[in-house]
Amino acid sequence: MRSRRGCRLAVAAAAAAAALGAPAALAASYLAKHDSGSIAIPAGQTRTLTVPYPDALKYAGALYSARVVVLAPATGAKGAKPTLGKVRILEAHSVLGGSEYQARARNGNRAETAAVRLRVITTTMEPQPDRARLARARTDEASGTRAPTARR
């Protein structure tokens, strides 16, 4: 009989293996496409940035995600160094029926500070066909046999 500690270690190892295998399985069955856009937001101003999802609504079963990132000003930008914590994301959501992502942000820094940059990165995960199923279909076509169908 195993000890409790041995059982816990076995369960932890199995969970870790499953967790590590899941992203690999997801990556193999989906193709990731990215798009991004960026805009400078001057101190005390509000700006909206809209970025389309790549191949939006083109494939059934596609997964969509987006990230909003506030970046420091480019090197050599005029003005004092801004505090990135004073930049607020007011809204961030999909628009136009899910084909675009829109983010609205406000730069709450003083007027003498440099403009911050807002970047939106959109990702479309397109489903890939099941390679094993396609290979079986090709061999069935070549041999002239038909795949079994379910009876009703």
| SS3 letters across the chain | CCCHHHHHHHHHHHHHHHHHHHHHHHHHHEEEEEEEEEEEECCCCEEEEEEECCCCCCCCCCEEEEEEEEECCCCCCCCECCCHHHEEEEEEEEEHHHCEEEEEEEECCCCCECCEEEEEEEEEEEECCCHHHHHHHHHHHHHCCCCCCCCC
Tell me what the mean pLDDT of segment 58-71 comes to. Answer: 92
In CATH terms, the fold of domain 30-143 is Immunoglobulin-like (2.60.40)
Query: Binning pLDDT at 50, 70 and 90, where does residue 139 land?
Result: low
**Closest alpha carbon to 69 in 125, 112, 122:** 122
pLDDT digits (tens, 9 = 90+) for 77-136: 889 999 999 999 999 999 998 899 999 999 999 999 999 999 999 999 998 876 655 666
Provide the mean pLDDT of the chain. Answer: 80
Q: Could you state, in order of their start, the residue ranges of all structural domains in the chain?
A: 30-143
Q: What are phi and psi of 145, to 5 degrees?
A: -95, 160
Give the separation between CA 99 and CA 53, rounded to whole angstroms: 6
